[in-house]
Amino acid sequence: MADIAGKPVGSGHARIPLLGFGTAVFPFTASETMKESILHAIKLGYRHIDAAAIYNSEPPVGEAIAEALGLGLIKSRAELFITSKLWCTDAHPDLVLPALRRTLKNLGLEYLDLYLIHFPVSLKPGSCEVPFEEKDLLPLDFKSVWEAMEECQSLGLSKLIGVSNFSCKKLQDLLVTAKISPAVNQVEMNPLWQQKKLREFCNGKGIHVTAYSPLGGRGTLWGTNRVLDCKVLQEIAQAKGKTVAQICLRWALEQDVSILVKSFNKERIEENLEILDWKLSPEESQKIDDIEQQRGFLAPMFVSEHGPYKSLEDFWDGEL
């Protein structure tokens, strides 16, 4: 069993496991493979599972948890750290609590460990699906939606609350009125988009950063191969006898963040775990540090002349 020690998160005693398991696969449909992969991951020692209403992954996550309990892979639900996310159509103050209750029903759980605002944007209320119409994009009412998130935590329906895809500026805006500070900001982070500024800001505010698409989301709708194809990373991997994926994951781990990686392939699920008992040398870390930075490709879906963000610069408030 892999030893995936957790990091403190939030203002209480909670800990977030270092390495988490992603469940986003486009088209967003649940499958038997998804459930089997989650179960396999739990068997190998993954303890954080990242779901979202939009992924349609909540039912298979719930089934995998029930099976893991039945098989004795875990003794209680409390051994797991389960995250899910509020989709933009429900990012309206009166829709947050009903959305979380639906999420819990889908998962068959009484509480989440972490509930996140998926994106700093709303969509006209309606069905939770992509693609969506650009004309449905709306500004997020940070204050009132966050108040509804705070209510979710106060009711004990989620132990922690947080955000995803938030720039420093947006976090700063949220913090002006927040009574509970976001425990986590889940963002894209990999050697090609290291999020140095955001991490520094979050560290200063006690907000834990979770890295998604640590491999650049190879082969996904929103990702790219440029991370796994990066020459510098390939050279380090070859010299070290590791895979490029392992170099990316180890690098992220050494930046003091937690990671979410998705694989539905048994060998790769295992390969991605084998990053805990070795280190990058200072020279290797420096080479990665020097890689030219560019933003990933996720946010363009939310950039539109009809919506609150007219450009990627706008979405990220010019931060890189």
- Picked from ligand NDP, ligand DGU, none, the partner binding residue 145 (CB below 5 to 8 A depending on kind) is none
Among 36, 67, 102, 222, binds ligand DGU (CB under 6 A): 222
Give residue 152's identity as a one-letter amino acid code. Answer: C
Does residue number 272 form part of the binding site for ligand NDP (CB under 6 A)?
Answer: yes
The secondary structure element, H or E, covering residue 82 is strand 81-86
- Picked from ligand DGU, ligand NDP, none, the partner binding residue 54 (CB below 5 to 8 A depending on kind) is ligand DGU
- Counting beta carbons within 10 angstroms of the beta carbon of residue 283, is it exposed (0 to 12), middle (13 to 18) or buried (19 or more)? exposed
Strands 81-86 and 258-261: unpaired
For this structure, is 309 an active site residue?
no
Contact 274/46 with Cβ under 8 angstroms? no
- Give the list of residues 6+ apart from residue 136 with CB closer than 8 angstroms, or none: 123, 124, 126
Q: Rounded to whole angstroms, how far apart are CA atoms 211 and 111?
A: 23
- Picked from ligand NDP, ligand DGU, none, the partner binding residue 237 (CB below 5 to 8 A depending on kind) is none
Q: 188: which strand partners?
A: 212
314: three-class secondary structure by DSSP: helix
Does residue number 89 form part of the binding site for ligand NDP (CB under 6 A)?
Answer: no
Does residue number 185 form part of the binding site for ligand NDP (CB under 6 A)?
Answer: no
Among 9, 18, 19, 24, binds ligand DGU (CB under 6 A): 24
Does residue number 54 form part of the binding site for ligand DGU (CB under 6 A)?
Answer: yes
**Which residue's Cβ lies closest to ligand NDP?**
22
Q: Rounded to whole angstroms, how far apart are CA atoms 176 and 196?
A: 23
- Give the list of residues 6+ apart from residue 98 with CB closer than 8 angstroms, or none: 90
Q: Rounded to whole angstroms, how far apart are CA atoms 147 and 92?
A: 10
Does residue number 22 form part of the binding site for ligand NDP (CB under 6 A)?
Answer: yes
Nearer to ligand DGU, 222 or 264 (CB): 222
- C-beta of 13: minimal distance to ligand DGU in Å? 28
The secondary structure element, H or E, covering residue 187 is strand 184-188
- Picked from ligand DGU, ligand NDP, none, the partner binding residue 219 (CB below 5 to 8 A depending on kind) is ligand NDP
- Picked from ligand NDP, ligand DGU, none, the partner binding residue 265 (CB below 5 to 8 A depending on kind) is ligand NDP
Which part of the chain contacts ligand NDP (CB under 6 A), choosing from 122-130, 193-201, 207-215, 277-285?
207-215
Among 4, 44, 66, 130, binds ligand DGU (CB under 6 A): 130
275: left (phi over 0), alpha (psi -120 to 50) or beta: alpha
- Measured between its terminal Cα atoms, the distance across the chain in Å is 37
- Picked from ligand DGU, ligand NDP, none, the partner binding residue 288 (CB below 5 to 8 A depending on kind) is none
Contact 160/9 with Cβ under 8 angstroms? yes
Binding site for ligand DGU (CB under 6 A): 24, 52, 54, 130, 222, 298, 301
Catalytic residues: 55
Binding footprint of ligand NDP on the chain (CB under 6 A): 22-24, 50, 118, 164-165, 186, 212-220, 223, 243, 245, 260-265, 268, 271-272, 298
